[in-house]
């Protein structure tokens, strides 16, 4: 089964992703709206890994010029049917995005990085399509020291299911290191879902501070 086939099946589940509760969506929307309040209306934004388009449509309704991309044609078919005024495109987050350099003022990427094999390539593409000083806002499951100990003692096999869709696990430190190596500086960091120290996810706002050299020129 290819990655694309896996996520076609994943998004054909009747209720979509099983980890996305209504309360968690609401919490992320509130935080997202707050951290984007300084952007001008009609700013261009990318929803990278948009799934069924819930957040793409939310940001569109806030007045931003949105496009959502996802590898799953099934997810995007649903998104286009539900949100016909919003623009969507099929694209893999581990390949080159179909956009010119410095095309977007901001990028939203929620619950995506943990699914990716080549995190470095994805962050490099997010850097490429963001304008200088542009915002990258993302969430990914939180793995802090205390939570990790609880996982080890109480639910290691279930949490690190070898057949599960999560293949990357980020602490605050490791996520910050990945972002800094990709030309970003973290400006805001908090958690969503539950309370510390067992947050479900970390909510991060980073700003593009440097352009990356093409991969072929780094070595």
Q: How far apart are CA 160 and CA 125, in angstroms?
A: 28
Q: Which of 103, 50, 36, 43 is nearest to 78 (CA)?
A: 50
pLDDT value at position 210? 92
pLDDT of residue 126: 98
Range 3-209: architecture per CATH = 3-Layer(aba) Sandwich (3.40)
Average pLDDT across the chain, whole number: 91
Where helices occur in the chain by DSSP H, the ranges are: 3-10, 22-35, 54-61, 73-82, 119-129, 145-154, 156-159, 172-181
Q: For the residues 43-70, what does the mean pLDDT come to?
A: 97
Average pLDDT over residues 191-210: 94
Percent above pLDDT 70 for the chain = 93
Q: What is the pLDDT of residue 7?
A: 79
Query: Average pLDDT in the 85-109 region?
Result: 96
CA distance 35 to 30: 9
> Is there a cis peptide before residue 14, judged by omega within 30 degrees of 0?
no
Burial of 186 (0-12, 13-18, 19+ CB in 10 A): middle
Per the listing, tokens 């995506």 go with: 112
Q: What is the mean pLDDT of residues 79-98?
A: 95
- 46: β partners: 67, 107
What are the residue ranges spanned by the domains of the chain? 3-209
Q: Which of 6-15, 41-50, 71-80, 200-209 has the lowest mean pLDDT?
A: 6-15
Please report the pLDDT score of residue 18 as a whole number. 46
Q: What is the mean pLDDT of residues 114-119?
A: 94
Contact 26, 61 (CB under 8 A): no
């Amino acid at each position: 089964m290819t990655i694309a086939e896996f996520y076609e099946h994943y998004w054909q589940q009747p209720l979509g992703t099983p980890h996305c509760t209504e309360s968690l969506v609401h919490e992320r929307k509130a935080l997202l709206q707050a951290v984007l309040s300084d952007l001008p209306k009609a700013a261009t934004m990318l929803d990278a890994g948009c799934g069924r388009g819930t957040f793409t449509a939310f940001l569109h309704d806030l007045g931003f010029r949105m496009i959502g991309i996802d590898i799953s044609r099934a997810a995007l078919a649903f998104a286009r049917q539900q949100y016909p005024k919003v623009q969507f495109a099929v694209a893999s987050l581990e390949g080159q995005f179909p956009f010119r350099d410095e095309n977007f003022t901001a990028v939203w990427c929620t619950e995506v990085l943990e699914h990716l094999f080549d995190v470095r390539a994805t962050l490099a593409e997010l850097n490429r399509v963001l304008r200088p000083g542009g915002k990258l806002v993302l969430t990914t499951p939180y793995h802090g020291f205390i939570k990790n100990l609880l996982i080890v003692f109480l639910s290691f096999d279930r949490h690190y299911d070898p057949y599960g869709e999560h293949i990357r696990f980020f602490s605050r430190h490791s996520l910050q290191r990945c972002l800094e190596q990709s030309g970003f500086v973290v400006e805001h960091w908090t958690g969503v879902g539950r309370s510390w120290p067992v947050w479900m996810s970390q909510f991060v706002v980073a700003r593009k501070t440097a352009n990356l050299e093409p991969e072929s020129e780094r070595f």
